[in-house]
């Protein structure tokens, strides 16, 4: 910015994990020369974004509080889905499977619970514990452990022991 250059804000909705488009837009508008690439999951979100072209949301205390809460929830072992840790020698789709618990709760869940995705999640049991992913993750995540946690949660959701309660 100090060099007078613009920049592209990728995944302004964190690949569908941030569910408040108004907050994301208000945040992005604070930065001049920022062109966001939103990454929406639902048609309704597209309509929200288009409406923002006419009425730009402004940052306010309510949005600030929401952003702070999101920061707390997504800090720590939050897989960003970047895929820099891949490929995995066991064929695990790390960039999806390591954030499955969040996807189930923050995005339409039906496709993540479909049989093809169940097969992908079951591959986590074949992890070789080579830790190649750990050495490549820019966020220093303990990826094998994170995958196991996501698989345990996934199985509970499939078994109906945990409700994810996100509308599709
Ligand atoms: S530790 Fe497991 S998940 Fe990570 S690269 Fe190796 S096999 Fe894949
Ligand atoms: S584990 Fe790390 S490197 Fe791999 S997808 Fe997630 S954030 Fe990216």
Instruction: Tell me the pLDDT of the chain (168 aa) as tens digits.
Output: 567 888 888 878 887 788 888 999 999 999 888 888 887 777 888 898 889 989 999 999 999 999 999 999 888 888 989 999 999 999 999 999 999 999 999 888 899 999 999 999 999 999 999 999 999 999 999 999 999 999 999 999 999 999 886 655
Question: Is ligand 1 within 6 A of the CB of residue 157?
Answer: no
| pLDDT value at residue 59 | 95
Rounded to an integer, what distance in angstroms lies between the CA atom of residue 80 and that of residue 166? 20
User: Is the whole-model pTM more than 0.85?
Assistant: no
The tokens 């750990």 sit on which residue? Answer: 134
Which of the 8 DSSP states describes residue 45?
A: H
| pLDDT value at residue 2 | 63
Rounded to an integer, what distance in angstroms lies between the CA atom of residue 127 and that of residue 125? 6
Q: What is the CA(41)–ligand 1 centre distance, in A?
A: 28
| pLDDT value at residue 3 | 77
Token pair listed for 70 = 């999101």
Question: Is ligand 2 within 6 A of the CB of residue 150?
Answer: no
Ligand 1 atom at minimum distance from 134 CA: 4
Q: What is the CA(55)–ligand 2 centre distance, in A?
A: 35
Compute the C-alpha angle 50/168/112, nearest 5°.
110
């Amino acid at each position: 910015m100090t060099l007078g250059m613009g920049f592209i804000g990728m995944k302004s909705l964190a690949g569908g994990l941030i569910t408040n488009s108004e907050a994301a837009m208000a945040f992005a508008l604070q930065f001049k020369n920022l062109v966001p690439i939103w990454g929406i999951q639902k048609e309704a979100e597209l309509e929200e974004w288009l409406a923002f072209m006419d009425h730009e949301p402004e940052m306010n205390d309510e949005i600030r509080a929401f952003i702070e809460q999101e920061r707390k929830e997504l800090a720590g072992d939050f897989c960003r889905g970047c895929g820099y840790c891949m490929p995995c020698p066991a064929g695990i789709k790390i960039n999806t499977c390591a954030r499955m618990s969040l996807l189930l709760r923050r995005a339409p869940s039906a496709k993540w619970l479909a049989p093809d995705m169940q097969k992908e999640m079951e591959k986590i049991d074949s992890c070789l514990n080579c830790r190649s992913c750990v050495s490549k993750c820019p966020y220093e995540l303990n990826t094998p452990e994170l995958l196991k946690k996501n698989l345990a949660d996934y199985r509970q959701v499939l078994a109906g022991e945990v409700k994810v309660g996100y509308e599709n």
